[in-house]
Structures are given as structure tokens and as C-alpha cells.
Structure 1
Amino acid sequence: MATSENTRKQTQIAIIIILFLSSFTAPFILLFPIQELLYRPHDYYLFETIFKAYIILMFVLIAMAIILLINLLITPTTKKGRNVQRTIVGTSWLLVLAILFLCINHYQIIDEKGLHTNNFFSLQEDSTSWEEIVKVEQTNVQKDGVTKPDKLIFTLNDGSTIEQSLTAKLAKAKAFINYELSKSGITIENVYSENE
């Protein structure tokens, strides 16, 4: 019985260590390939994970390691206490799985139809067609005498805007975005500001 208990504790310690150490690398290694497998369309200009999903998943894995550590350190003496502890750990695992699903479901696509984003707390893709866009600005930030592209801001015909950080992938897709915008006579306007 004691050997079984020791084995269980050693397994929990191993899981805690793996969760904690992998929290810094696993989101960046696993999240995009899973999304690619599940959501990547056949034709697209841009398909990428929204950076926030990586960070959220990292914190969730750290939180799970902490919950398991607390579970390991606190040993309830009563049956009711053990049941409460199991419920807390079980609920935590379900919460982690739900957040993992939301992270996998958090991406953006740009294709010939328009911009498509699946927000973190959404189960449905939010799509904006190229025809809805009336203006696009590229903000350029000057820092220490160097001007760097910062964001693309898409203004829609209802006055709302969509801001996207100008990542390396989005910068590569700019030629395709310009092509789609040119069909409606729109060009990307550069806006400069001194910032940070």
C-alpha cells in the first residue's frame, strides 16, 4: 500500500515537472501544427495563430502544475476532504481542457474572400469580406530614429475597425492584401508616429 502511494506521488511529481517545464515551449511547438491540421484552408494568403493563444496556454499549463503541486502537498485526513480535493483537481483538468480547446480555436486567416478570425471566447469564425473594407492604414512607429511597421488597421463600411499586428507572416501576405484591395480601388496608406 505504501509502495503504491509512493509510486502515485512520484508520478504526480513527474507530471508537475513536465507541465512546468513544457509550459514554456509546448505552446509554441504544438499549437500551430494542431491548428493547421484542423483549420488550415486549401487556399489562403495568411494562416496564423494569434499570439495571445500561446501566452494563455503557457499560463494554463503553469497553473495546472501549481494545482497538482498543492494537491500533492495537502493530504486530507477525512474521506470528505479527499472527495473535495479530487473534485477540485478534476474540475481543474476540465477547465484546462476547455481552455486548451479555446486556444486551438484562436486563429486568423486571410484569403481571397476576406479576413477571418476566430476569437478566444468564440466558437464561430468572424468573417469580413474585402467589399466591406473602405480604408486600410499601416501604422509605422519611429523608435530611436528607426521607423518600423507596427499594425494594419482595416476600416469597415460601418465605421468599425480591425487591427492586426504586422507579424512576419502578415508582412509576407501584404502583396496579396494589396491585390485584393486594388480590386476596390483601395491602397494601404502609411501613417507615421513617434512612439515608445
Structure 2
Amino acid sequence: MRSVSVETNSRQIQLGIIIVLFLSSLIIPVILLFPIQEWFYRPKEVYYFEPYLQAYIIFMAALLFMALALLINYLIIPETKKGKSIQRGILITSFLIALIFIALSFNHYKVMDSNGIHMNQFFSLKEDFVAWEEIVKAEQVNVKKDGATKPERLVFTLKDGSTIEEPTSTKLMLAKNFISFELNQRGLTIENVFE
């Protein structure tokens, strides 16, 4: 009788965790991602620091994956001890994979400072760096939306012909004067381009 009660409590706790994970997958990334990234990765003197949108999406997907793994674990009740061990192993592996993706989403950001542009791509633990001196052209692409022309993105063309595109955001627009200053020191200006 007592083992049934413990199993029922365990299943109720598991169901509660599933519900919390599903709901928090929409909220937690928005609340936690930027402050944690800022704490660990933001340099002291920086013009612009922002996580990629994909970092939020990957964090959300990892939490949803954890909730889904728990839900499958909740719905499938193995009959044998071996089945329970296999199920437990699959659940632990799923959680480890999700935690790796969460850690990688924390490590996915972009920074602009007096040295240049720093970007940490999702599957990379090493930061990509582009010095201001490597930029040969800078453009602000403006698009006509709803009867008004609005800046859509900044495009930096590098010496090797590759480009870096940054969608405009409030943070980027606040840093635009500093970016212009760095480019002006190197004989460049941000050109307006209209699409």
C-alpha cells in the first residue's frame, strides 16, 4: 500500500514539473538569458552587447525538449526492471543533451567595442573577432514600411568580401554613434542605402 502512495506522489511531482517546464519555456529564456550572458561575457567597456535571437529560441526549445522527455517518461510505464532502467537512461541522456544546448545558448552573443566586433556562434566555444580595420564599407539599409522609411540593418563589408549583417535594434541604434566614431577614425562613414 505504501509503495503505491510513493509512486503516486512521484507521478504527481513529475506531472507538476512537466507543466512548469512547458510554461516556463516561454518565460525563463527571456528573463534569464541576457542577465546571465551579461554577467559572464560582457566586457567592461562595450558599445553594444546583445544575444542572438536564436539563443532565446534554442533555450526555449531545450526546455520544451526536457518537458517532452518527462511527458513521455510519465506516459510510458515499463513493466520490467530492465525497461525502467532503459527508460531512466533515455531520460537522463535527454536531459544532458538539453542542458548542453542551454549552455551553448548562453554562449551565443555579439559584442562591439573599441577593438571591433566579437561574435560567438552557437556551436563554437571560441569567439570570432573582426577588427574595425578589416571593415572596408559600412551601410545602413533602410526599408519603407507602413509609409515610413525605417532602418532595417547595418551591413559591414570586410576586406575579404564577406559581410556581417546586424538587424537594427534599440541597443544597436544607441551604439550607432560609437560605431560611427570608430569607423570615422578609419576613414569610413555609414552610408544610407534604400531598398
For normalisation by structure 1, the TM-score amounts to 0.96
> In structure 2, what is the equivalent of residue 39 of structure 1?
41
Q: How does 1:1-196 map to 2 (within 5 A)?
A: 1-193=3-195
Gaps of 5+ in 1: none
Give the counterpart letter for 2:174 in structure 1. K
Q: CA shift at 1:13, angstroms? A: 0.9
Residue by residue over 1:77-122, the C-alpha shift from the partner in whole angstroms, topping out at 9 and shown as x without a partner, is 1122112211110011100110011000001110000000100110
Query: Cα RMSD between the aligned structures?
Result: 0.8
Q: CA shift at 1:135, angstroms? A: 0.3
* Identical residues among aligned pairs (%): 55
Give the counterpart letter for 2:8 in structure 1. N
Q: Report runs of 4+ in structure 1 exceeding 2 Å deviation.
A: none
Asked whether the equivalents of residues 62 and 99 of structure 2 are also in contact (C-alpha less than 8 Å), the reply is no
Give the count of matched residue pairs.
193
Q: Distance in 2 between matches of 1:11 and 1:136?
A: 55
Give the counterpart letter for 1:71 in structure 2. N
Q: CA shift at 1:144, angstroms? A: 2.8
Gaps of 5+ in 2: none
Residue by residue over 1:26-70, the C-alpha shift from the partner in whole angstroms, topping out at 9 and shown as x without a partner, is 000001111111111110001111111111111221121111111
